Chain A
Amino acid sequence: MSGRAKSLPQIEGLPIVGVFVLLVGLFMVLAPNVFLGYRIYMSFLITVPPILLLALGLTLVIAAGEIDLSFPSVIAFSGFLFAYLFKTYELTWLALLAALAGGALIGFVNGILVAGIGVPSIIATLAMQFFWGGITTVLSGGLSYNIRAVKETALWEVFVGRIGVLPVQSLWVLALAIFLWFLLNRHRFGEHLLFIGDSAKVARVVGIPVNRERIKLFTLMGVLAAFAAVLLTLENKNFFNTQGQGFLLIALAAVFIGGTSIFGGQGSIVGSFFGAFIIVMIEAGLVASGIQGFWVRAVVGLVFIGAVIFHLLVENPGRLAALRRLLRRDG
Chain B
Amino acid sequence: MSGSEYRDVVRLENIQMHYGNVQALSDINFAVGRNEIVGLIGDNGAGKSTLIKIMTGVERPTAGNLYIRDKKVDWEGYSVGRAHELRFETVYQEKSLGEKQPLWRNFFVGRQITNRLGFIKVKQQKQIANDVLLNQIGFRGAGIDADSPVAQLSGGERQGVAIGRAMHFDSDLIVLDEPTVALAITEVRKVLDFVRGIKESGRACVYIEHNLAHVHELADRLVVLDRGRVVREIHKGEMSLAELTSALIDLQHAKVETAEAGS
Contact = CB atoms under 8 A, between A and B. Distances in A.
B109 A191 contact: yes
Contacts of B120: 186-188, 191
Q: By CB atoms of chain A within 10 A, which of B98, B105, B117, B122 has the most?
A: B98
Interface string A288-321: 0000000000000000000000000000000000
Interface string A1-38: 01011100000000000000000000000000000000
B156 to A, nearest CB: 14
Q: By CB atoms of chain A within 10 A, which of B96, B109, B120 has the most?
A: B109
Contacts of B101: 194-195, 198, 265
A206 B118 contact: no
Which range contains the number of A residues in contact with the other chain?
Answer: 20 to 34
Interface string A260-285: 00000110000000000000000000
A205 B94 CA distance: 11
Given A205-B90, A207-B80, A198 B114 contact: no
B119 interface: yes
Contact of A4 (B80, B119, B152): B152
Contact of B96 (A189, A192, A206, A208): A206
A109 B252 CA distance: 54
Contacts of B111: 207
B100 interface: yes
Given A4-B143, A6-B143, A188 B114 contact: yes
A199 interface: yes
B67 interface: no
Given A201-B95, A207-B81, A207-B110, A188 B143 contact: no
B95 A199 contact: yes
A4 B114 CA distance: 30
Contacts of A139: none
Given A206-B109, A207-B110, A195 B98 contact: yes
Contacts of B98: 194-195, 198-199, 202-203, 206, 265
A182 interface: yes
B92 A205 contact: yes
Contacts of B241: none
A202 B81 contact: no
A202 B119 contact: no
A201 B98 CA distance: 9
Nearest to B112: A188
Given A187-B118, A188-B118, A265 B100 contact: yes
A188 B116 CA distance: 11
A249 to B, nearest CB: 26
Nearest to A207: B110
Interface string B189-216: 0000000000000000000000000000
B132 to A, nearest CB: 16
A52 B146 CA distance: 33
B143 A207 contact: no
Contacts of A4: 142-144, 148, 152
Contacts of A206: 96, 98, 109-110
Contacts of A189: 118
B99 interface: yes
Nearest to A204: B80
A5 B120 CA distance: 28
Contacts of B99: 198-199, 202, 265
Contact of B119 (A2, A5, A186, A198): A186
A207 B84 contact: yes
Nearest to A2: B143
Interface string B103-143: 00100011110100111101000000000000000000011
B144 A187 contact: no
Contacts of B96: 202, 205-206
Nearest to A192: B109
Interface pairs A-B: 5 shortest CB-CB? A207-B110, A265-B100, A198-B98, A206-B110, A4-B143
Given A4-B152, A5-B143, A202-B96, 11 more contacts: A187-B118, A187-B120, A188-B118, A191-B109, A194-B101, A194-B105, A195-B98, A195-B109, A206-B98, A207-B81, A265-B101
